[in-house]
Structure 1
Amino acid sequence: MKTTKPLFSAIVLALLLFSSTTILAQDDAPERPEFIAVTTNHWNMDKEDFKMSEWKAAAKEYHEKVTMNNEYIMGASMYLHNMTADNTEFLTVQTFASWEDIGKFGERSSELENEAWPDEAKRKAFLKNLNSYYANEHSDEIYAPISGAKFMAEKPTKDMLCYVRKSHFAFPEDGTMEEFNKLRMEGNAAIVQKNEYVKAYYPNVHAWGSDKTEFMEGFFLDSMADLDKMFDRNSELMKEAYPENEANKAKGKAWGKYFTGVHGDYLYTFIHDLSK
């Protein structure tokens, strides 16, 4: 598998200079959330009667009766481990229009649970069974989406591969918003938007959590087979957009100062029928 760093996968300086609200206001794309909450969960490996099919049936029932009806959740999705360092992990992602909605969605979910399962005994039994699949351990990060996304043409009707790339800010003293955004959006238009294997692309920066340097990009592909094809196509598009000359060498050097060079790669399976 190829893991070469494409030109467009750099760190976004925007978070350092502007609020996420300002960034979003500059974007003419369709309405997007202001915050994205990513929870890394873990399976309960001690559950003796663990059946993935039964878990999914329960998770889907909760999704349809609660998550889909919660007006404070703009979007929701679930991602299962594919190729990551921990095979017990899975991600739940929820998007929100505002910080206030993050504080409201939990209470609303409780109300919807009571409506969906009015019999208290049955409600407790259902939730106990669903929660029995999960370990107590989890961690949360909140990100802010930025401009440059490639939106899904239509809601997926099948599971997809989600390639996540986490890079890190370098905080250059001589960096400027004008220079960075010019380079970033130039590379985005020439490579991300033109790569037919990338069905959707979502760049996000740290908003609240453990690492303020983190920049997370999500690439959605039809299949694992398309991963290498995406990298090959990136290389082709890069050569077309940035032929070897002194001007492009200078761009590459300017671009490089905005990130540390350290990154991590993760592959997840996006569950299409557990998404909002």
Structure 2
Amino acid sequence: MERRLRELDRLDEQFGLGEHQVHRPVGAPIPLPRGRRARKVRRERKARGPVVPGLLIVGLIMAGVFLVNPSDSGRRLRELVGFDGRLGELVGVPDGDGEYAFATTQPGDPDEPVSWNPCRPIRYVVNPAGAPDNWEDLLAGSITAISDATGFQFEDTGTSDERDFDDRIDGLNRPQPVLIGWADEEEVPRLAGNVAGLGGSTYLERQRHRTYVTGAITLDSELFAELAEERNGDALMQAIITHELGHVVGLDHVDDDNELMYADNVGQTELGPGDLEGLARLGSVDCA
């Protein structure tokens, strides 16, 4: 920013950015009557005007730096002037003694997580092929749980027949909505064994700051078909979806079996204290 301001000073000295140049024809001036001469002088003074163009350029540069600066100074400046475009309420970080872990952290700072932009909705699309009949209710419950814990807002972009669970950024580097769907191990070999689902996100990096922009959730269709017949099946299916959504927003597995993000979870159906703390920290990041 200092470099750009110095360049503006140089241009101002060379070209006079603070004024509109008044161009006059070459040759002898034509005398004007006294009254018209006075009006002519006033018009020329008005044409010269204030230093608006230069100030406008400086203001635009400062506004750009102000809006996109991901550093602590940028955050404090935005807070000072009350500029915060986050879509949801800022969730307070609970004082818990649970365990949580972030899937990815920022370059050079292992304590700062990679997360989503809280000033943009997390868009998602669903492929319901192979899903249980009540998949909409199950998904809505999980999204509500994650949204309440993070403050992130989710945007439903409808259903689709897409099945590209691995690459959600197209050839023009445009992120696609998070894809949520059901598959078997023949289609997605990583679902083999005791894997109930897969979830994760992809980030883009700008100015050494990473932000998640898309992701995918793949749920085991055969397991969900079995759980749909069990007495406590709905609670277990929703817990699996919430667990995978936890991965999508930025949480990793933990070793504490009291947390929903426990790697081998078989009975926990609610978010634990560590889950809630980690989710709140993911949602408290600055707008990217």
TM-score above 0.5: no
Larger Rg: 2
Question: If the length of structure 1 is used for normalisation, what is the TM-score?
Answer: 0.25
- Higher relative contact order, chain-length normalized (CA < 8 Å, sep 6+): 1
